Homo-oligomer: A and B are copies of this chain.
Amino acid sequence: MNNPGYLIIGGGGHAAALAEILIKQNKPLLGVVAPDILAGHAIFDSIQHYLRDDDILRFSVEKVLLVNGIGAMPRQTLRKKVFTRFSELGYTFATVIADSALVSDYAVLAEGAQIMNNAVISIGCNIGENTIINTSVSVDHDCIIGAHSHLAPGSTLSGQVKVENSVHIATGVSVINNVTIGTNSIIGVGANVTKSVNAKSIVYGARSIIKGSVKNDN
């Protein structure tokens, strides 16, 4: 595609973060598609606003790259549905790599993978389509991450971890090496994963405990 324009789907914080990454890379933003703009007004107020997903159909599949700005939350399927629908219609989703991210020359990113600020993708990794590697995530060597998954901010995978499709790994999770996390699993905030988990598992990290209160103001 020569000089494609970028069309962002979604009007929340993830969409805004993607928009800033693309602006820094001088990508032309053709518009934002969302019923409401909930974040990133400083960016979105100056570009064309489309209200309905069907407005995407006004753009030729030859001239536009879609950017899936819908955030990935556990049990929410909208992000995947949008990707699937418009892929089947012939559209291409942009693979986005923030300038501040580090992606090995020997890693492979599928269509629509999004590597956010300060994330690291090490040598030998494979990132599936429509997957988000969020801010400050660290993915060590030879990890295989499936499609439609989300590694939330600050999570860390050691080497040779396998994450299957549609997995949600929450903020601050740590996974040791050589572990597999099965399809559709949800790994909760700050969980320490030391062995493989089956598909559809829900894994909770340790709860924090509220112990009394601070006596003196400061």
Instruction: Return A143 CB to nearest CB of chain B, in Å.
Output: 10
A114 within 8 A of partner (CB): no
Which of chain A's residues 28-78 have a Cβ closer than 8 Å to chain B? Answer: 39-40, 42-43, 71, 75-77
Stretch touching chain B among A2-10, A87-95, A199-207: A199-207
> Which chain B residue has the least Cβ–Cβ distance from A166?
B218
Q: Any chain B CB within 8 A of the CB of A120?
A: yes
A214's nearest neighbour on chain B, judged by CB, is: B200
Q: Does A123 contact B (CB under 8 A)?
A: yes
> Which of B117, B141, B175, B218 makes the CB contact (< 8 A) with A122?
B117
Each complex incorporates copies of this chain amounting to 3
Q: B residues within 8 A CB of A19? A: 123
Set of chain B residues within 8 Å of A158, measured between Cβ atoms: 152-153, 171
**When each residue 106-117 of chain A gets 1 if its CB lies under 8 Å from chain B and 0 otherwise, what string results?**
100000000001
- Pairwise interchain contact A192-B214, C-beta atoms closer than 8 A: no
Smallest CB–CB gap between A6 and chain B, Å? 16
In chain B, what residue has the closest Cβ to A143? B13
Q: Is the CB of B190 within 8 A of A40?
A: no
Q: Which of B20, B118, B120, B187 contacts A106 (CB 8 A)?
A: B20
Contacts of A43 in B (CB 8 A): 106, 123
A25 at the interface (CB under 8 A from B): no
Instruction: Find the B residue at minimum CB distance from A80.
Output: B218
Are A192 and B166 closer than 8 Å at their CB atoms? no
Q: Does A26 contact B (CB under 8 A)?
A: no
Minimum CB distance partner of A71 in chain B: B159
